[in-house]
């Protein structure tokens, strides 16, 4: 059995990779477990030295790895290079801070000594998507390895080259050979991995159905999971917002990674008094996107990652139009090789429409009208998702109040697009998942938070 990487810009085969059979998978798992037995004894100083080297390699190879990402899933080369460099940042961050994050915490009780300590769990399975094929993995792998765990990656089948390249980074940096391994196996084997005694926990970034399936199996086995799932992020634009800045930021967020991001803006909820002016600015910005060969320096929008995803998105657009949405821009499949879809803007979107209720994973924006702030917040929260949200206003106290107290999401930003940062916890609520990645909270997710009491 083999896996093919397909270039979504033209549909050509980039490379073919041999996949693992069941026996090979279990051999890697066994070696990963025995590696953990020794790796957990290493010092933070030793782990940090290796993680710093991984960061150096990522920066040195950012151009090469960036091209691989672009060829496999279609994002622009400039964006792909930026993704690889962001991975170096998260490696440095945990190399510098893990010892502090996992240091013993003394707690005053009636004991002679009592404290909390953080111990690694063992082998952690990561099930990762194609849309940020390096970043999604490194934001798990850097803290997991620094905590003393070992990691196994089941990556999306359309980015096998990226999966092997990440394994290469850790190997070349000097980590033990089986501290981090990529398993090129079919998805049907994930259940078997979750059932195995050596897998102590799992993390998944992906769709709601995939997250539900993994959580169900892991729950049956009583194993810890962290899930980062879909999103339909609302961006509220209030009457006192700087409309030019808000529209520019909203366009950037909707088109980042070709719109194929869980935390990309998807629903733009605009108060009536500025709806017309905002819409003009927003449509103008979407029109200016350069949809060209993603390897070109001036390209700002590449193709979608797979043909089936492009076709599904187009059907969602057409269904929304049948339901009463008005298409202001785009909405047609281009007559060209590859899996392209143009920047598309839908207006008159309301609850009950596909564009409002579902996640549109591509360069399609839904504009929603609200009478006032209260209705805007109500509409923003009227969703099964709760990953990210943003509000645009010139009154920072107002924006802080809405973000802090009223919006239902794991990350709420004021006058800025939602983005991940190694220093800040990242994750969602509702059907967008649970648990947190990044920050000091992320590294503690896959540790045994142990109480020690000495009389």
Point out the catalytic residue in the list 72, 83, 167, 228: 228
The number of beta carbons lying within 10 Å of the beta carbon of residue 237 is 28
Backbone angles phi, psi at 70, to 5 degrees: -60, -45
Q: Is 53 left (phi over 0), alpha (psi -120 to 50) or beta?
A: alpha
Q: What's the rounded Cα separation, in Å, for the pair 132 and 318?
A: 27
Query: Rounded to an integer, what is the distance from CA 315 to the centroid of its chain?
Result: 24
- H or E stretch at 59: helix 44-60
108 is catalytic: no
Contacts 24+ apart (CB under 8 A), 357-360: 357/232, 357/383, 357/384, 358/232, 358/316, 359/230, 359/231, 359/232, 359/262, 359/266, 359/385, 360/232, 360/259, 360/266, 360/313, 360/316, 360/317
Q: What DSSP letter does each residue of 222-235 carry, written as one string? A: T-EEEEE----EEE
Task: Please count the helices (runs of H) and the strands (runs of E) in the chain.
Answer: 15, 18
- Distance between CA 105 and CA 103 in Å, rounded? 6
Residue of 91, 250, 262, 412 marked active site: 262
228 carries an active-site annotation: yes
Compute the distance between CA of residue 284 and CA of residue 83 in angstroms, rounded to an integer: 27
HSE value, Cβ hemisphere, 13 Å, CA-based, for 36: 25
Distance CA 356, CA 324 (A): 12
* Residues designated as active site: 228, 262
């Amino acid at each position: 059995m083999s896996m093919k990487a397909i270039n979504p810009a033209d549909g050509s085969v980039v490379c073919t990779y041999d996949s693992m059979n069941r026996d090979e998978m279990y051999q890697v798992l066994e070696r990963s477990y025995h590696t953990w037995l020794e790796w957990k004894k290493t010092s933070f100083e030793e782990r940090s030295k290796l993680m710093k080297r991984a960061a150096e390699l990522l920066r040195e190879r950012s151009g090469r790895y960036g091209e691989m990402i672009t060829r496999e899933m279609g994002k622009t080369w400039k964006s792909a290079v930026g993704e690889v460099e962001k991975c170096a940042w998260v490696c440095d961050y945990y190399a510098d801070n893990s010892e502090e994050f996992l240091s013993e915490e003394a707690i005053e009780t009636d004991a002679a000594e009592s404290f909390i300590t953080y111990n690694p769990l063992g082998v952690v399975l990561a099930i990762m998507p194609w849309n940020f094929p390096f970043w999604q993995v490194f934001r798990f792998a850097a803290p997991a390895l620094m905590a003393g765990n070992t990691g196994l990656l089941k990556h999306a089948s359309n980015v096998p080259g990226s999966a092997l390249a990440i394994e290469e980074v850790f190997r070349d940096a000097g980590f033990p050979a089986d501290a981090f391994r990529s398993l090129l196996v079919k998805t049907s084997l994930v259940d078997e991995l979750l059932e195995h005694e050596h897998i102590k926990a799992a993390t998944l970034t992906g769709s709601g159905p995939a997250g539900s399936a993994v959580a169900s199996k892991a729950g049956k086995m009583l194993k810890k999971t962290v899930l980062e799932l879909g999103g339909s992020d609302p961006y509220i634009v209030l009457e006192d917002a700087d409309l030019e800045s808000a529209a520019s930021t909203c366009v950037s967020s909707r088109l980042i990674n070709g719109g194929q991001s869980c935390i990309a803006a998807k629903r733009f909820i605009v108060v009536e008094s500025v709806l017309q002016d905002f819409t003009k600015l927003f449509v103008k910005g979407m029109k200016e996107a350069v949809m060209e060969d993603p390897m070109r320096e001036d390209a700002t929008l590449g193709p979608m990652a797979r043909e089936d995803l492009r076709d599904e998105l187009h059907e969602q657009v057409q269904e929304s139009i049948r339901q009463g949405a008005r298409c202001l821009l785009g909405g047609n499949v281009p007559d060209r090789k590859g899996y392209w879809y143009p920047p598309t803007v839908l207006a008159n979107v309301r609850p009950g429409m596909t564009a409002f209720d579902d996640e549109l994973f591509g360069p399609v924006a839904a504009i929603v009208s609200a009478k006032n702030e209260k209705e805007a917040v109500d509409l923003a929260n009227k969703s099964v998702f709760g990953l990210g949200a943003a509000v645009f206003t010139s009154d920072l106290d107002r924006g802080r109040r809405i973000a802090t107290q009223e919006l239902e999401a794991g990350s709420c930003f004021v006058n800025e697009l939602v983005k991940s940062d190694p220093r800040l916890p990242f994750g969602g609520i509702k059907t967008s998942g649970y648990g947190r990645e990044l920050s000091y909270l992320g590294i503690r997710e896959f540790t045994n938070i142990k109480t020690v009491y000495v009389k």
